[in-house]
Structure 1
Amino acid sequence: MSTTAKLMLLLVARGVRDSFMGILKLHRLDEDVHDESTSSSSRKDEPLSALARRRSEHLKHTERKHDSSEPRVLQRMLLCCAWNGGLFLLSILVFNGLIIPGLQFFIHLIFGGSSTHNIVWSWVGPMLSWTFSALWVLPLFLLSKLVNSLWFQDIADAAYRRTRGRPQMLPTFGKIIADIIFSLLLQGLFLIQGTLAVFLPITVIGQLISLLHMCLLYSLYAFEYKWFSMGWEVHKRLSYVESNWPYFVGFGLPLAVFTSISSSAVINGCVFSMVFPLLIISGNEAEPIDETFNYPLRLFTPVVIISNAIFQHSVKRTNVHQVAHPSQSASATHRQVRLQER
C-alpha cells in the first residue's frame, strides 16, 4: 500500500511539474521555426547552377511568406492576456474597485451621513451594477468565449505542427462532428457532476471531490487538442485519463486552484482564459505515460452512460422522423441519383 501511495504522489508531482512546462517552452516554439529555416538556408555549400539558384531563391521566398503569415504562439498568448486580462478583467476590477466606491463617496458627500444616503445608494448601487453587467460584462463574456475558442485552437494547432508535424485527424467528417458533439456534451455533464459534489453532507469531502473533478476536466481540456490531432477518439481519451488519473490530477491542479480564488465566476473565467493557453502548450509538450496506474478512477462512467443514452435517443428520433416522412427521403434520394447521372 505504501508503494502505491508513493507512486500516486510521484505521478501527481510529475503532473504539476509538467503543467508549468508551457512557460519554459513558450518562447522556444517560435525560435525553433526560425532556427530550422536559417539552418536549412546555410546548409548548402556546393555551387549551384543558375536554374537551381533561381528555384532555391523562389523556395526560400515562399517559405518566408508562409512563416510570416502563420500565427505565432507567443503572439496568440499575448492577445489572450491582453483581451482577457487587460480589457475584460481590468474593466471589472476598475468598476468594482474604483467607480463604485467613488460614486458611493460622492453620494455620501452630497447627502452626508443621513438616512437619505442609504436610501439613495440602495437604489443607485444595484442599478449601476446591473447596468454594467447587462451592457458590458455579459456581451463581452459571450464574445470572449467565441474569441478564446478560436485563439485556443490557433495556439494548439501551431504548437502541434511545430513539434509533432501534420495532424492525424479522424477518418471521416461525420466522425469528427460526432466526436466533438459527444465530447462537449460529456464535458458539460461532468462539470455539473463536479458542481453537485459540493452539496455532499460532509463539506470538506464534497469540496475535495469537486476539486478532483475540476483537475481532471482541465487536464482533459488541455490534452484534448493534442489527442484530437493524433486521431484519438473520445472513449480512448477518457480511458487514458481514468487509467492515469493521479498524473492528470496534478496537471490540472494549478489551474483549478487559480480559478477558485475569487468568488466571482466571471473573474475566474478571465483567469482561466489567461492561464489555459499555457496548459495547452504544456499538454502538447508533455511526454506520454508508459505505465498505467493500477487503480483507475471511473469518474467519467456516469456521464458517459448519460451521454450515450442521449445520443441513442436522438438517433431513434431521427430514424422515426425518416420513417414518418418516406416520400421526402425518397425524393431526396431521387434528386441525388439525378445529380450523379448528370
Structure 2
Amino acid sequence: MFSLILSSLWYNDIAKFGFAAMGRSGSSVVEPSSPSETLTAQSTAHKERLAGLGGVMVGIGEQVYSVLLLSFFFLEVFATGFIPYVGKAINFLLLSWMYAYYCFEYKWNFSEVALDKRLDYFESNWAFFAGFGSPCVLAIFFVSPLVSYGIMAVLFPLFVLAATCSGAEQDISFPRRKWRGVGLGRLPIFYAADSLSLWVLSLLPLEPQDKTQEIKAH
C-alpha cells in the first residue's frame, strides 16, 4: 500500500520530466510547425480565460466536474464486472479506456487542454485509446490484486511517458472537423458518467443548472 501511494505521487513528476525532456514547456511545444503554433495560441487563450476571480471559479468548477466524471466512470467499470457472461469483456474494454485516459491526462494538463476538448478527442478516437490501454489491463487482469499493484507500479509510468511523448496535443489543437469523422466515428464512452455528474452538480445550491452547463462548456 505504501508503494502504491508513493508511486502515485511520483507519476506526476515522471510525466513532468518526460514533458520537459521532449523539449516542451507547460504551455507550448518547441517545434517549428503549424500545429505547435496553434497549440501555443490555444494555451495563451486558455490562460487569458482563467484570469481573474471568475476564471478561477470556472477552473475549480471544471476540476470538480472532472473528478465527478472519472469517479462515476470508475463505478461504471466496477459495476460491469458483475454482469453475467459479457461482464468481463465489457469490464476489460472500460478499464482499457480508463487507463488510457489517466495516462494522457497528465500530458493534457501540462498542455492546458480544455476538458471538453479532451473528452471530444478521446471519444472520437476510442479505438486507438482502447488499444493503448489494453496492455495495462492484460498485465493485471489474470493475477491477484497484490501482484497487479506491483505490475502496474512498473507499467503505468512507462505508459505515462509514452503518452507524454506522443503528439496527441498537436492533433487536438487542429480544428475539430480535421479529426472528427475520421475512422469509426465518435462513441459516447462517458455519456452515463457525464449525465450523472451534471445531475449531481445541478443539485448544488450555489449554481443553477444553466451555470453547470456553462462550467462543462469551458
1:156 and 2:5 are equivalent in the alignment: no
2:153 is the alignment partner of 1:273: yes
- What corresponds to 1:191 in structure 2? 74
- Shift in CA distance, 182/164, structure 1 to aligned 2, threshold 3 Å: farther
- 1:224-262: per-residue Cα shift (whole Å, max 9, x none)? 111111111222211111110110011001001112121
Residue 56 (structure 1) aligns with: none
Structure-2 residue corresponding to 1:247: 128
C-alpha separation between the residues in 2 aligned to 1:275 and 1:210? 20
Q: Describe the shift of the 1:235–1:145 C-alpha distance in structure 2 as closer, same or farther (beyond 3 A).
A: farther
Give 2:213's aligned residue. Answer: none
Q: CA deviation at 1:319?
A: 6.0
Residue in 2 that maps onto 1:332: none
The CA deviation string for residues 80-104 of structure 1, in whole angstroms up to 9 with x for no partner, is: xxxxxxxxxxxxxxxxxxxxxxxxx
Distance 1:256 1:237, change over 3 A: same
**Contact in 1 for aligned 2:4/2:149 (Cα 8 Å):** no
Structure-2 change in CA distance of 1:151 and 1:297 (3 Å): same
1:38-57 to 2 correspondences below 5 Å:
none
Partner Cα separation in structure 2 for residue 176 and residue 228 of structure 1: 12
Q: Give the 5 Å matches for 1:168-317.
A: 168=27, 171=47, 172=50, 173-201=56-84, 203=85, 205-262=86-143, 264-288=144-168, 291=179, 292-314=182-204, 316=205
Deviation (angstroms), 1:164: 4.3
Which moves more between the two structures, 178-187 or 267-276? 178-187
- Name whichever of 219-228 and 230-239 sits farther off: 230-239
Q: 1:151 to 1:249 in 2, by over 3 A?
A: same
Q: Which has the larger radius of gyration?
A: 1
Residues 1:166 and 2:25 are matched in the alignment: yes
Number of aligned residues: 174
Q: TM-score, normalised by structure 1?
A: 0.47
TM-score scaled by structure 2? 0.71
Q: Which runs of 5+ in 2 are unaligned?
A: 28-42, 51-55, 172-177, 209-218
* Alpha carbons 2:19, 2:107 under 8 Å: kept: yes
Q: Deviations over 1:198-241 (max 9, x none)?
A: 2223x1x2211111101110000000111111111222211111
Residue 19 of structure 2 aligns with an amino acid whose one-letter code is Y
Helix, strand or coil: the match of 2:184? coil
Change (3 A) 1:319 1:213: closer
Tell me the amino acid that sits aligned with residue 190 of structure 1: F
Q: Work out the CA distance in 1 between the residues paired with 2:4 and 2:64.
A: 17
- 1:199 aligns to what SS in structure 2? coil
User: Counterparts of 1:189 and 1:152 in 2: how far apart (Å)?
Assistant: 22
Quote the offset at 1:191 in angstroms: 1.6
| Alpha-carbon separation, structure 2, partners of 1:221 and 1:148 | 14
Q: Secondary structure at the match of 2:22?
A: helix
* Deviation for aligned residue 1:175: 4.1
Shift of the 236–215 alpha-carbon distance from structure 1 to 2, 3 Å rule, reads same
Query: In terms of mean alpha carbon deviation, does 173-182 or 297-306 score higher?
Result: 173-182
Q: How large is the Cα RMSD of the aligned pairs?
A: 2.3
Letter in 2 for 1:152: Y
Alignment correspondent of 1:73 = none
Report the CA distance between 1:195 and its aligned residue.
2.0
